[in-house]
Amino acid sequence: MSVRDDRYDVAVVGVGGMGSATAYHLADRGLDVVGLERYDIPHSQGSSHGITRIIRRAYYEHPSYVPLIERAYDLWDDLADETGRDIIHRTGSIDAGPVDNDVFAGSKRSCEEHDIPHEVLTGAEVNERFPGYELPEDYRAVYQEDGGFVVPEQSIIGYTEAAQARGAEIRARERVEDWAETNDGGVRVRTDRGVYVADALVLAAGAWNYKLADALDGLAIPERQALAWFQPESPATFAPEEFPVWNLSVPEGRFYGFPVHDVPGFKLGKYHHRDEEVDPDDFDREPNRADEAILRDVTEKYFPEAAGPTMSLATCMFTNSPDEHFILDTLPDHPQVAVGAGFSGHGFKFASVIGEILADRAGDGESDLPLDMFSLDRFE
Q: pLDDT of 242-276, one tens digit each?
A: 999 999 999 999 999 999 999 999 999 999 999 99
Q: Which domain holds residue 15?
A: 7-48+153-220+323-379
pLDDT: which is higher, 366 or 201: 201
- Tell me the CATH number at 214: 3.50.50.60
> Is residue 365 a part of any domain in this protein?
yes
Q: What amino acid occupies position 325?
A: H
> Is residue 70 a part of any domain in this protein?
no
> Which of the following is catalytic: 56, 346, 349, 361?
349
> Looking at the structure, do residues 338 and 285 belong to the same domain, yes or no?
no
Give yes or no for residue 120 having a pLDDT over 80.
Answer: yes
Beta bridge partners of 171: 36
Percent of the chain beyond pLDDT 90? 94
Residue 255: how many CB atoms within 10 A of its CB? 21
| Residue 284: strand, helix, or coil | coil
272 among known catalytic residues? yes
d(CA 298, CA 98): 16
pLDDT band at 289 (very low <50, low <70, confident <90, very high): very high
d(CA 3, CA 6): 9
Give yes or no for residue 364 having a pLDDT over 90.
Answer: no
> Is residue 191 a part of any domain in this protein?
yes
d(CA 116, CA 266): 28
- Cα torsion for 14, 184, 196, 343, to the nearest 10°? 0
Over residues 40-50, the mean pLDDT reads 97
Percent of the chain beyond pLDDT 70? 99
Give yes or no for residue 50 having a pLDDT over 90.
Answer: yes
> Looking at the structure, do residues 226 and 213 belong to the same domain, yes or no?
no
> Looking at the structure, do residues 160 and 291 belong to the same domain, yes or no?
no
d(CA 96, CA 141): 4
pLDDT at residue number 210: 98
**H helix intervals, 34-141:** 66-83, 102-113, 123-129
> Looking at the structure, do residues 243 and 293 belong to the same domain, yes or no?
yes
pLDDT tens digit string along 133-185?
Answer: 999 999 999 999 999 999 999 999 999 999 999 999 999 999 999 999 999 99
Q: What amino acid occupies position 254?
A: R
- Tell me the CATH number at 242: 3.30.9.10
pLDDT at residue number 65: 92
Mean pLDDT over all residues of the chain? 96
> Which of the following is catalytic: 53, 211, 270, 273?
53
pTM equals 0.97
> Which of the following is catalytic: 49, 224, 261, 273?
49
Strands 33-36, 140-144: pairing is: unpaired
**H helix intervals, 144-288:** 152-165
349 among known catalytic residues? yes
pLDDT at residue number 62: 85
> Which of the following is catalytic: 52, 160, 319, 330?
52
Beta bridge partners of 365: none
111 among known catalytic residues? no
> Which of the following is catalytic: 267, 270, 346, 361?
267
301 among known catalytic residues? no
> Which of the following is catalytic: 4, 272, 296, 378?
272
> Looking at the structure, do residues 310 and 269 belong to the same domain, yes or no?
yes
The answer to whether the Cα torsion of 108, 356, 156, 154 is positive or negative is positive
> Looking at the structure, do residues 239 and 303 belong to the same domain, yes or no?
yes
Q: What are phi and psi of 369, to 5 degrees?
A: -90, 155
Q: How many structural domains are present in the chain?
A: 2
pLDDT tens digit string along 69-107?
Answer: 999 999 999 999 999 999 999 999 999 999 999 999 999
pLDDT at residue number 366: 81
> Which of the following is catalytic: 38, 118, 211, 316?
316
Question: Over the Cα atoms of the chain, what is R_g?
Answer: 21
pLDDT at residue number 2: 66
Last residue within a domain, chosen from 278, 298, 317: 317
Give yes or no for residue 365 having a pLDDT over 70.
Answer: yes
Contacts of 303 (CB under 8 A, 6+ apart): 132, 133, 134, 257, 266, 268
pLDDT band at 9 (very low <50, low <70, confident <90, very high): very high
